[in-house]
Amino acid sequence: MKILRTGAILILLSVVLVVAGGALGGRGGMQIALLIAVVMNFVSYFFSDKIALKTSGAQPVSREQLPRLYQVMEGLAAKANIPVPKLYVVPDAAPNAFATGRSPRHASVAVTQGLLQIMNDEELEGVIAHELSHVRNYDILTSSIAATIAGAVTYMAQMGKWAMLFGGFGGNRDEERGGGGFSALLMIFLAPFAALLLQLFLSRSREYAADETGVRMVGHAQGLIRALEKLGAYNKRIATSAISPSTSSLCIVKPFFGEGTLSALFSTHPPLEDRIATLRQMTVTPLR
């Protein structure tokens, strides 16, 4: 089921990308878009984890350096019946955490220095259980693919805008390419919006699912609830200095970049209040 879900998401986003290319450049544009989709999917599958860790400045840590983190991670990984991921620390005062990698055997979990400083053991356990849930559910591969292809769709739309400004979409030329100026104009605006909506839907639904699985992994919701409350409070006043917007969708809570946002409607994360309320009403059942 997890593999089928990932495949369906990959196909849907790739279709959006290819259709956008066809509308903007006819058959040639469609072929270019298909090539971009293949390359981007390859990069997402094999290198998205390395990109996320590199851009955030994450550094690998040993058991000797952070025995508390290793103890929590190893205990929860055993409960989830998955290998212990590679552990990293991000030099950032803003508390946060994210998981990345294409599968449980190729997974990494990164936490910020700020998170380690403010979380007690029970709260840290809740955060790590949430991140291991992403690993166990293959969410890290899904979200990486979604973010990468959505970015490619947006980039192609930007290219289309420049083409309209400098090259135009003439009538005979449009007919030869198989696309029209009006359809290209629509695709410039609709394709990125469609890719964004699908990415937002995936990101939000996976956060609720990871909260639930993490709580079942630990056996209670108190640690994660208090951790989310702390994360919400600290991330309102401490701007991240390391995590990039492209990596933010992987984080347990949306990082604060020191500037206002358009609306919670277009956030990759559901409102913290809703997540906490859902956890308070949850009936905890054992993880299988």
Q: For residue 257, give the 3-state DSSP assignment.
A: coil
The beta-strand segments (E) located in 106-213 are 107-112
**Shortest CA distance to 272 belongs to which of 257, 288, 256, 258?**
256
pLDDT of 175 reads 44
Residue 21 reports pLDDT greater than 80: no
Cα pseudo-dihedral 118, 59, 107, 227, rounded to 10: 10
Amino acid (one-letter) located at 78: A
**Shortest CA distance to 53 belongs to which of 84, 97, 93?**
97
- Band (pLDDT 50/70/90 cuts) for residue 263 is very low
Residue 72, φ and ψ in degrees, nearest 5: -65, -45
- 3 vs 257: which has the higher pLDDT: 257
Residue 174 reports pLDDT greater than 60: no
Look over the chain and give the mean of its residue pLDDT values, rounded to a whole number.
79
90-104 tens-digit pLDDT = 999 999 999 998 889
- 155 vs 171: which has the higher pLDDT: 155
pTM: 0.76
pLDDT of 42 reads 76
Q: What percent of the chain has pLDDT over 70?
A: 61
- Band (pLDDT 50/70/90 cuts) for residue 137 is confident
- Band (pLDDT 50/70/90 cuts) for residue 169 is very low
273: buried, middle or exposed (CB in 10 Å: 19+, 13-18, 0-12)?
Answer: exposed
- Catalytic site residue 131? yes
**Shortest CA distance to 224 belongs to which of 253, 247, 256?**
253
pLDDT of 30 reads 61
How confident is the model over 273-278, as a mean pLDDT? 96
199-246 tens-digit pLDDT = 666 677 889 999 999 999 999 999 999 999 999 999 889 999 999 877
Q: Rounded to the nearest 5 degrees, what angle is found at the Cα of 189, between the Cα atoms of 35 and 152?
A: 30
How confident is the model over 149-175, as a mean pLDDT? 55
How confident is the model over 165-188, as a mean pLDDT? 49
**Which residue has 């699908």 as its token pair?**
198
**Shortest CA distance to 188 belongs to which of 13, 23, 32, 36?**
23
- 135 vs 5: which has the higher pLDDT: 135
**What percent helix, strand, coil does the chain show, rounded to 5?**
70, 5, 25
pLDDT of 205 reads 80
Residue 173 reports pLDDT greater than 60: no
The conformational region for residue 200 under phi > 0 = left, psi -120 to 50 = alpha, else beta, is: alpha
Residue 177 reports pLDDT greater than 50: no
117-130 tens-digit pLDDT = 999 999 999 999 99
- Band (pLDDT 50/70/90 cuts) for residue 24 is low
**Annotated active-site residue in 123, 125, 131, 212:** 131
Per-residue buried b or exposed e for 164-200, using 16+ beta carbons within 10 Å of the residue's own CB: eeeeebeeeebeebebeeebbbebbebbbebbbebbb
